[in-house]
Amino acid sequence: MTGARRIALVTGGRRGIGRAIAYALADRGFDVVINDLERDASADETLAGIAERGGKGAFVTGSVSDIDDHERIVSEAWDALGPIACLVNNAGVQTAYRGDMLDVPVESFDRLISVNLRGSYFLTQRIAKRMIAQPVTEPTRPDRSVIFISSGNAVIATQAQADYCISKSGIAMMATLYALRLAEYGIAVHEVRPGIIKTDMTADVFEKYDNWARSGGFPLARWGEPEDVGNTVGVLAAGLLPYSTGHAFHVDGGIHIRRT
């Protein structure tokens, strides 16, 4: 990419899929603000990786679940590197309860909705208003974007993760609605649906899914890597699919394909 580097904000960006997204964006010509709960060694490693790829990096502490703190998070992100051209709603949590959906605790359900759905909705709302206030030269060829990281569980029902599935299916509709609302301002909205990705979040079920992958459960018989998701986000944020908005991109080795 030539010209000035654009600015991206990645929530939940200090490690795992968030780190891979930050690196892919830096490779595509973005400077990257990462947001997460704390700045630790992992966050510093991610910032160093952004710099190695030719980008500027910045860190903003905060939880997307804290709606009252969104103004500070957005203002600090905006001030750190400049106007945000790409928001990646990556921050998310897995269910705290794997079991019968009739026994899902209220606390687990509320936590998932607060982080995965409610937090992303209102953070996007706040950033979208700032984006709209910036001039756009050619709205039919979007040069800004909002990208939601949801899950294959937006459409694949897993009863043992009922609350998680509900939160992710909500993200799918949220992305569709924001795509409709923001198109006239040259802001494309995309949803990325990772499948089984090798991260800390899937460490507790590694053996189960590893056996499934090896036995042909995935059409592309391997674990997904964070870089698979990151590269997809990089392509979308760079505007390489300029006539696409409101679409869901599966990054899952084909798990979502219905087979008989």
State pLDDT tens for residues 88-117: 999 999 888 888 999 999 999 999 999 999
Neighbours of 210 (CB within 10 A): 16
Q: Is 260 helix (H, G, I), strand (E, B) or coil?
A: coil
- The percent of residues above 70 in pLDDT, for the chain, comes to 97
DSSP string, 56-116: -EEEEE--TT-GGGHHHHHHHHHHHHSSEEEEEE------S--S-GGG--HHHHHHHIIII
Rounded to whole angstroms, how far apart are CA atoms 96 and 93? Answer: 9
Average pLDDT over residues 193-215: 77
Report which of 79, 161, 81 is spatially closest to residue 116, judged by C-alpha positions: 161
Task: Judge contact between 117 and 170, C-beta under 8 A.
Answer: yes
- CA 1 vs. chain centroid, Å, equals 22
In this structure, the strands spanning 84-89 and 6-11 are parallel
Domain segments of the chain as ranges: 6-251
Query: What's the topology of domain 6-251?
Result: Rossmann fold (3.40.50)
Residue 76: is its pLDDT beyond 80? yes
- DSSP letters, 196-238, are SB-SGGGGGGHHHHHHHHHTTSSSS-S-B-HHHHHHHHHHHHT
Band (pLDDT 50/70/90 cuts) for residue 2 is very low
Instruction: At 97, list the tokens.
Output: 């309860």
**What is the tens place of the pLDDT at every residue in 138-189?**
878 889 999 999 999 999 999 989 999 999 999 999 999 999 999 999 999 9
Q: The whole model's pTM is what? A: 0.93
Provide the mean pLDDT of the chain. 93
- Known catalytic residues? 164
Q: What is the mean pLDDT of residues 27-50?
A: 98
Q: How confident is the model at residue 252 (pLDDT cuts 50, 70, 90)?
A: very high
Which percentage of the chain shows pLDDT scores above 90? 77
Which among 175, 178, 169 is positioned nearest to 191, based on CA atoms? 175
> What is the C-alpha end-to-end distance of the chain, expressed in Å?
44
Residue 1 has a pLDDT of 40
